Structure 1
């Protein structure tokens, strides 16, 4: 932050505080109305303190002291932050919110670089791709930092950044795709439950758990998984500048950060301080990081809280037992 910004912040804070103090003095001391002088002094001091806080907030918005925006992707990745059939499960990363944060950082003239903190086992395919694309569109250096885990969809996101850092003990990789279904046909037979098909289209009910999977259906679903995998590999090859053979040879394994660095899956190993120093070198100044968080209204916060309570009472378990039929980067 330059000297001019520092001076501007200080001047603005004290100017607003002075105006508030003057207003408080005028309202509660110079023109008291049935108030004791002592009470007037207390009120004047309170107004001045409120003015100081308002001035600090205003100065922070007009003269921000950061030059790097940080966006975190933590937990399973999905469209809305839900990790199960009953969203949202606790700790999930909502792609729409993350994309909004990145776009807000991109529009912020003070954010010269983007730091993407990754601690995720992966998740849904298209939401992961959306976050990667948002990182690619950011106008400035983008650095991804893997903390505990950067797997599957997390690695897809990292492929959209200029550089990937990790710790020696970070779990990195799992460049693969999984699609699953529950086979409850035998259980349905024991319970006397039968399945009748009313569909238009040969493969419309492929994967329904109440019937046995036919070989043609198996091949059809496997083809979808293979096509998603080809997309994933292509994204990694392009974004991480790796040979396709190298990516496919990982066979969706995970690696410790040190081994991932040897394979070229990670650019550098280091601590958070090392990452910030590297970002500072990219922008030619000491990195001052501001975490961008989701902008939620009161109604959204209340709704999320209620849903998390419901999850705690068993909704999450029910969703996992039922399965959701979605393909995932895992």
Structure 2
């Protein structure tokens, strides 16, 4: 039997809401006006309130019986980090990875969401948060279509490799299948200020990459090995998820391509707009697609807290963050 389309579902929801509201209003009129035999304004007001309450209850019933959507859309925008905050104060804020994972998992738990539409507009970011989002998308039980808007690079492409298909615009920037690691070398600056580095560490490579000392050849080889291991993992994930040969991926040498060229290379399944991606979802589902956006739910207190955190971070990060001893590894 054919499922009702969006217009039919809207009509059905409206009928349910009106029916429940009418029944509640009639019951309210009987309880507060007819039975007491007091046709007062207060009784009529109670009957009206009963109708309003019935409409709200009817809305909930109608939403469950005739859901207004069957596709969940989740967005990954900006740099990918655990908290959504950049490493430095002037770094553009992105979508927190944990929030994206939460939204995808919520879509997976929603019986109404039969497909996942993943919007990607990101230059990449941290390795593990990117992999967490990829894993959540891969675990979704239903068609998963990723579509790139402006940029789907590095960590964004890592995420896309966990989806069934990747769509892009002809002028989208796609690729950058590589890993970069960096460290600040502040040795000369520290010398000018009269600062010296004194090592207290257990383990030969514990302070490898410390900013206030020169990196040794052994440390450089060790750190480069970590980057190479991340890269091999990236290649394996993309090759498996996108059904591409590892050789083709390595041949890209972490270059970015416009969508049209990426499609020719097989890095993108199809070219088109968001609407084209939605049409593809309809084709996979076999019914009309109705999309709703899944967004993180935060209380007013949480929103105020995040705003205060951003202000405090911008004011207090200062120069100290630039002398972080850790090597910054990003996709």
Sort the TM-score into its range (normalised by shorter chain).
Answer: 0.7 to 0.9
Which residue does the alignment assign to 1:276? 278
Q: Does 1:17 align with 2:21?
A: yes
Match runs of 1:33-44 below 5 Å: 37=41
Match runs of 1:158-237 below 5 Å: 158-237=160-239
Deviation for aligned residue 1:317: 7.2
Gaps of 5+ in 2: none
Per mean C-alpha deviation after superposition, the further-off stretch among 8-17 and 152-161 is: 8-17
Q: 2:73–2:118: 8 Å Cα contact kept in structure 1?
A: yes
Which residue does the alignment assign to 1:107? 109
Which residue does the alignment assign to 1:66? 69
Deviations 1:91-125 (A, max 9, x none): 31222221121111112222111111101110110
Q: Secondary structure at the match of 1:71?
A: strand
Which residue does the alignment assign to 1:121? 123
CA RMSD of aligned residues (A): 3.0
Q: 1:141–1:282: 8 Å Cα contact kept in structure 2?
A: yes
Once residues 107 and 224 of structure 1 are traced to their aligned partners in structure 2, the CA distance between those partners, rounded to angstroms, is: 36
Which residue does the alignment assign to 1:260? 262
TM-score by length of 2: 0.86
Which residue does the alignment assign to 2:134? 132
Once residues 248 and 127 of structure 2 are traced to their aligned partners in structure 1, the CA distance between those partners, rounded to angstroms, is: 21
Deviation for aligned residue 1:257: 0.6
Q: 1:13–1:55: 8 Å Cα contact kept in structure 2?
A: yes
Q: Does 1:75 align with 2:69?
A: no
State how many pairs are aligned. 324
Once residues 241 and 15 of structure 1 are traced to their aligned partners in structure 2, the CA distance between those partners, rounded to angstroms, is: 52
TM-score by length of 1: 0.87
Deviations 1:26-54 (A, max 9, x none): 8997899xxx94x9878876775565355
Q: 1:75–1:93: 8 Å Cα contact kept in structure 2?
A: yes
Q: Secondary structure at the match of 1:200?
A: coil
Gaps of 5+ in 1: none
Per mean C-alpha deviation after superposition, the further-off stretch among 149-158 and 284-293 is: 284-293
Deviation for aligned residue 1:255: 0.8
